[in-house]
Amino acid sequence: MIIPVILSGGSGSRLWPVSREEYPKQFLNLHRDDQSLLQEAANRIKDLENAQPPLVICNETHRFLVAEQLHQIGIDDAQIILEPCGRNTAPAIALAAAAALEVNADAKLLVMPADHVIKDEAAFIRAVKQGQSLASDGKLITFGITPQRAHTGYGYIKRGAATGQGFEVLAFVEKPDATRAAEYLASGNYLWNSGIFLFKALDYLKALRQHAPAMLDACERAYALRSEDMDFTRIDGAAFAACPSDSIDYAIMEKASNVAVVPVNPGWSDIGAWDALHELKAVDDNNNATHGDVILHDTHSSLVHSESRLVAAVGVDNLIIVETGDAVLVVDRHKAQDTKKIVEALQAAGRTESKTHQQVYRPWGHYRTLALTDSFQVKEIVVKPGAKLSLQMHHHRAEHWVVVEGTAKVTQGKSHGDTESLKSFLLSEDESTYIPLGTVHRLENPGVIPLKLIEVQTGSYLGEDDIVRYSDDYGRE
């Protein structure tokens, strides 16, 4: 039995401004127009023999995004484990191993990041099948990508003598400089480190007990104190926060003696930065890759990505140009990795552009800011059929709702903070209502099509934290 484990905790800061903290790259359709990277990862193993429903490890903020995107591709039986805080890959996999052992004492874990691209899925499945016999014999398997060029953005694995259908691992090597990367490529003995693994759950926990016992103890306590919340498994926050933070490479793979590597060449990319996306995209005769409304003249070897308006480039070479509704990135294609420095600067300045998009997703749907000043804000709100917002109140703002599509069910109190005499009524297209400051209210979509409305907020403070929830269908505080 194989349990696919999808690690979905990354933030994708090198792909800013499209990837942001609350909607990072694994949820974006960066490789295929019809699927996000998470959906690609979940679909990748659907034809693997003896594969069980996937187990996804993600943070609490993304739980509804994960569930919704899996539902969109027909996966409603995945187990979703919520990390209360990030502790890197080794603890996350320990949680998955503990969950897998409750299903089958001999279960194998196929560990995959949620944000990678694999073009040749058949080649990947063949490699997984090759690794199964080694994993059955107690090996901790990593999959090494046959290098196509002297890449300096990846770690490397030095392979040794053949063992079964794989090779012994002699060393894990950090990202090299250009000269050393060329030497690795010429030797033929080095593979790119993909971050994809296969092993028995029990063998992984044994290795953790040997090489990182404090980490295992913390993970076991956190998992034992877990709770069920709707379709999610919540890990105990205090116990998990005490867990050391480390990657599986540092905690286990570089120390264990029973590690093997299976080479594979499946058209893999971790899309670590915009230059990697340029390599994946189809290009024109001038080696340019484009997305959206783009016009180029005398431009070469560039990636131009537009999301909301026309972007034109003239007489430039080797640039990454990325436009979203509230930000524009221009960076030398060979320095795309440094985009994370911009994100760090935004975070240090307390700016929201590092965290949220203009369009913000919620379990009930999404909203998009159309205009924002110190005294008013205009939003487009879309509520999914059958969904409802929390019963809530605002201390500092009033709201005016205008329905533009669908039917809205509005629940509203009579006076400030009144939850005793709530009344409900329906609004159709072109109808509106006013929610005074301090009035308890709720918005619901009772129909079968999305509800779309325009919300105008007025008040002294318009932040998203000005909300008091009295009840919520999604377990939010």
Beta bridge partners of 4: 110
Band the pLDDT of 419: cuts 50, 70, 90: confident
| pLDDT, mean of residues 360-374 | 93
Q: By CB neighbour count within 10 A (0-12 exposed, 13-18 middle, 19+ buried), where does 382 fall? A: buried
- Residue 35: inside a domain: yes
Please check whether residues 323 and 377 belong to one and the same domain.
no
Give yes or no for residue 147 having a pLDDT over 80.
Answer: yes
Cα angle 466, 472, 473 (rounded to 5 degrees) comes to 145
- Residue 285: inside a domain: yes
If you average pLDDT over every residue of the chain, what do you get? 95
Give yes or no for residue 112 having a pLDDT over 80.
Answer: yes
Please check whether residues 414 and 334 belong to one and the same domain.
no
Please check whether residues 292 and 431 belong to one and the same domain.
no
Residue that finishes a domain, picked among 219, 245, 269: 269
What is the pLDDT at residue 65?
94
Give yes or no for residue 344 having a pLDDT over 80.
Answer: yes
Give yes or no for residue 477 having a pLDDT over 80.
Answer: no
| pLDDT, mean of residues 191-209 | 97
| pLDDT, mean of residues 410-421 | 86
Q: What is the pLDDT of residues 148-161, one digit of tens each?
A: 999 888 999 999 99
What CATH number is associated with residue 404?
2.60.120.10
Please check whether residues 387 and 440 belong to one and the same domain.
yes
Band the pLDDT of 386: cuts 50, 70, 90: very high
What is the pLDDT at residue 7?
98
Q: What is the pLDDT of residues 220-231, one digit of tens each?
A: 999 999 999 888
| pLDDT, mean of residues 111-125 | 96
- Residue 352: inside a domain: no
What is the pLDDT at residue 179?
94
- Which residues have C-beta within 8 Å of that of residue 409, sequence separation ≥ 6? 388, 424, 425, 426, 427, 443, 444, 445, 446
CB 305 within 8 A of CB 323: yes
What is the pLDDT at residue 318?
98
Band the pLDDT of 50: cuts 50, 70, 90: confident
Please check whether residues 179 and 68 belong to one and the same domain.
yes
- Residue 476: inside a domain: no
Residue that finishes a domain, picked among 245, 269, 293: 269
Give yes or no for residue 415 having a pLDDT over 90.
Answer: no
Token couple for 249: 């490479």
Please check whether residues 222 and 265 belong to one and the same domain.
yes
Please check whether residues 236 and 305 belong to one and the same domain.
no
pTM: 0.90
Residue type, 75: I
Give yes or no for residue 57 having a pLDDT over 80.
Answer: yes
Structural domain containing residue 305: 280-343
What is the pLDDT at residue 231?
87
Please check whether residues 60 and 190 belong to one and the same domain.
yes
Residue that finishes a domain, picked among 239, 269, 299: 269
Tell me: cis bond preceding 17? Omega within 30 of 0 counts: yes
Please check whether residues 21 and 60 belong to one and the same domain.
yes
Give yes or no for residue 420 having a pLDDT over 90.
Answer: no
Please check whether residues 378 and 330 belong to one and the same domain.
no
Please check whether residues 334 and 388 belong to one and the same domain.
no
Please check whether residues 258 and 294 belong to one and the same domain.
no
- Number of separate domains in the chain: 3
